[in-house]
Structure 1
């Protein structure tokens, strides 16, 4: 492999936003290219104008940039094999389709969609399935059943047609896939696929085969959904007299419940887009907008079908490049678990305390809160293990800087059932706080030991509620020591007034 310059391509269609599967395909191509000092190419397969969605192309480019897996060549980057949009390569495909026609590997078919619909209905009524293949093509309206004169006359009157690939029956094709090993297909099972549509536009099968050859692609790494097309592509290469590239078909990404694959056509209850997608009035947030780090997202995707061996799961992009191997990609589908994505982001968050600090500084300034850097760092260290995203840090640490502006309504109602006794207890406790000197963790803890088990709603719960506004938060004695005696007493007063 080292003697061959590796060239791989990511070739999405601009039919909407990339979802998890598409980004993973791009990532694996990127990792493989970088591992072997090769070239990663971006090609846009935009021949299907009916399915074209505006802004898809810019979305693809922004996504690859956010994930730090930018191409070396292709759309947006230039290169020696431009144009990299298939819609701009129509004349190239025309040249090669004429080669297939002249050499007897392709033929004109003149049936309309309505004609074929009627034929399918006839076969269905007989309990059969119609296929445009070697068994039926000699009974249909195509150039295989015409003389050259008849064909010329048909074409001269501008009859609508498609061009189909001619599959010869009776052959056993043996093809190799890097991930799945040897695959055998009988040509009797194949139909004559359309290579050129009635509008003169090449289909994916023809265009991708020609482009991969002309762009010197050495390895085609793509999704499992294209495995069924491998035989056709293999035959196309052979009909042109070209050596096929190495193929690797990636496993499907399945829903955790096992009910099918994830798809952008079927919205899930978890994010499937890397970045926000706007479609009219509909805004669908992506992993970026939800607060995920791009390196955590990429790390998660890399392990969604590939196993590096061992128990290690955290890899930088550079480490992924060094470790990646197509031979360690699974054959079977892999299940997506959003909880695992949370886990990855949390792991990366812990290593990004500087970013958390910067976020908190901006939050302090926005709320006009004065703070000391050492104090802020201490708060971050105390609370960072409680969060998965940077934006959650304020929710879990605000009480170190400002009293609660809201009290949990459920616990507040519970207090009010016995409010006179609780107010009495809080006032006595407040008086006792004045006497704690110095106001340290150890002394505060000793103060509480005499109160426990003496009240139905325990004193520690009441204090936490007064300081935080709910029953969550870090160690209570730590909170008291850090905010200090004066602020602690003020928050007790606030709660007493709220209960009244």
Structure 2
């Protein structure tokens, strides 16, 4: 799809609130959002909460929180199916009157027996149409006290065909479909019926969803045709596989979107990663959401499953951490650093430290952990002290302390002074840098020693040197 659709574009994201926002759902939401933004359309959020046993307010909030973290703002909604019951009952009554739906008094046990008989005969297990009204057919006597379900009178012949804008043309024979239950005995409507009526009422022009819904699509198309409604265009996205190539599961994969901010990922990295997990624009790997929406016209969607790769996500997250404002990084890292024992009073400015340390950090959590060396008292291991802070090097450290007390406070000036001390004592950098690292941070792995010295500040450097000299 590369040209603007003839009708106003209206897309929707319609999760069931039975848990968290899944990565696959987040990708569906992103694509639906980007498609609407590309064509100047409307993005609708709809909560499909008719599964009363599993739907919870906490799950609704988890979905909204996940969308908010990703920055996928909806234009209308959230709409809740449970608040639309009067509308569903109105359409059900119209369909019953028009003869496109009928009352079925078969018990669940009887329907199960029908399916078992069909299976035994080598046929597809299905409802056999016992209560389907046909011309000249005599229906059974209504069992006393039994409340009926309402079934959709599915066409017996012909095919349902649609041009799926991810998978191409799909055809399913009506003979594969039985008469779907569209209302339970207590009158509450079922999933496929609600979805069809919602898409009609909300004037949804394009439905992007996971390919686990392919089998629902012919049923929804037939319901919409039965009530004379226009059809949206459908696109079904392949699933996201785990790093092992199997279906993602919460047992072995981080599938909850809100696990990722807790692990130190930035939303722009997750959006960029999810966008490429089933869609491409040339060879572009790193792009903003503004760029994506300018490109995302519904073409170049992959019809094969994508595989989640945490190394690729880490690479992108590192890119966005390096691009991020240091004050923003400080806001994200501060609380966990406090929890880890960081002391900020008298320490270097946090944003300054994070700006120096962020080059190699794949996550905010890694960045926070690596930066702790500037916010706790150094406690070098005794074996390292014995190896590096020797009697031979202490006179050199004393010279360094004397010079550092008066040197101009800049990275360039400190670097030049260190070279002068090394030259005066005819030693190489590690002989001075390693003991300085231990004295200032308690560890041997740090950024360049001139950077470390400047960030700590003259007063702190002199105080920590004095303890060893």
TM-score in same-fold range (> 0.5): yes
Q: 1:50 to 1:493 in 2, by over 3 A?
A: same
- TM-score, with length taken from structure 2: 0.82
Corresponding residue number in structure 1 for 2:292: 320
Summarize deviations over 1:338-386 as a string: whole Å, max 9, x none: 233233333222232342366789989x84534787xx77644432213
SS in structure 2 of the partner of residue 42 of structure 1: strand
Q: Distance in 1 between matches of 2:6 and 2:387?
A: 85
Corresponding residue number in structure 2 for 1:172: 159
1:433 and 2:407 correspond: no
After superposition, where does 1:176-325 map in structure 2 within 5 Å? 176-260=163-247, 262-263=248-249, 266-270=250-254, 272-275=255-258, 286-315=259-288, 317-325=289-297
Q: 1:48 to 1:359 in 2, by over 3 A?
A: closer
Gaps of 5+ in 1: 76-83, 276-285
Q: Distance in 2 between matches of 1:154 and 1:377?
A: 75
Q: Which moved more, 1:57-66 or 1:41-50?
A: 57-66
Corresponding residue number in structure 2 for 1:89: 84
Specify which of 117, 127, 132 is matched with residue 126 of structure 2: 132
Gaps of 5+ in 2: 408-413
Specify which of 15, 18, 22 is matched with residue 15 of structure 1: 18
Q: Distance in 1 between matches of 2:453 and 2:98?
A: 86
1:43 and 2:26 correspond: no
After superposition, where does 1:295-444 map in structure 2 within 5 Å? 295-315=268-288, 317-349=289-321, 350-356=323-329, 367=343, 369-370=345-346, 379-390=353-364, 392-399=366-373, 403-404=377-378, 406-407=379-380, 412=381, 414-415=383-384, 419=386, 423-434=390-401, 440-444=414-418
Residue 103 of structure 1 deviates from its aligned partner by 4.2
After superposition, where does 1:437-452 map in structure 2 within 5 Å? 440-445=414-419, 447-448=421-422, 450-451=426-427
Summarize deviations over 1:433-482 as a string: whole Å, max 9, x none: 356577632342454574459xxx96644443333222221012443465
Q: Distance in 2 between matches of 1:435 and 1:95?
A: 88
Corresponding residue number in structure 2 for 1:279: none
SS in structure 2 of the partner of residue 47 of structure 1: coil
Q: Distance in 2 between matches of 1:10 and 1:346?
A: 29
Q: Distance in 2 between matches of 1:229 and 1:361?
A: 47
Summarize deviations over 1:135-190 as a string: whole Å, max 9, x none: xx15xx43448989856x627x4413322333444423321111221112222323
1:25 and 2:28 correspond: yes
SS in structure 2 of the partner of residue 235 of structure 1: helix
Corresponding residue number in structure 2 for 1:163: 150
1:142 and 2:135 correspond: no
**Is contact 2:124-2:176 (8 Å) kept?**
no
Corresponding residue number in structure 2 for 1:78: none
Q: 1:99 to 1:435 in 2, by over 3 A?
A: closer
Q: 1:11 to 1:224 in 2, by over 3 A?
A: same
Q: Distance in 1 between matches of 2:368 and 2:69?
A: 25
Residue 428 of structure 1 deviates from its aligned partner by 4.5
CA RMSD of superposed structures (Å): 3.7
Q: Distance in 2 between matches of 1:256 and 1:69?
A: 26
Residue 258 of structure 1 deviates from its aligned partner by 0.5
**Is contact 1:346-1:387 (8 Å) kept?**
yes
Residue 257 of structure 1 deviates from its aligned partner by 1.4
Residue 11 of structure 1 deviates from its aligned partner by 1.5
Q: Which moved more, 1:487-496 or 1:379-388?
A: 487-496
Q: 1:444 to 1:333 in 2, by over 3 A?
A: same
- TM-score, with length taken from structure 1: 0.77
Q: 1:67 to 1:361 in 2, by over 3 A?
A: closer
Q: Distance in 2 between matches of 1:421 and 1:73?
A: 65
Residue 204 of structure 1 deviates from its aligned partner by 1.3
Residue 5 of structure 1 deviates from its aligned partner by 1.7
**Is contact 1:441-1:480 (8 Å) kept?**
no
Residue 293 of structure 1 deviates from its aligned partner by 2.9
Q: Distance in 1 between matches of 2:443 and 2:347?
A: 24
Q: Distance in 2 between matches of 1:420 and 1:170?
A: 86
Specify which of 82, 106, 128 is matched with residue 111 of structure 1: 106
Q: Distance in 1 between matches of 2:395 and 2:241?
A: 59
Q: How many residues align?
A: 452
Q: Distance in 2 between matches of 1:269 and 1:222?
A: 21
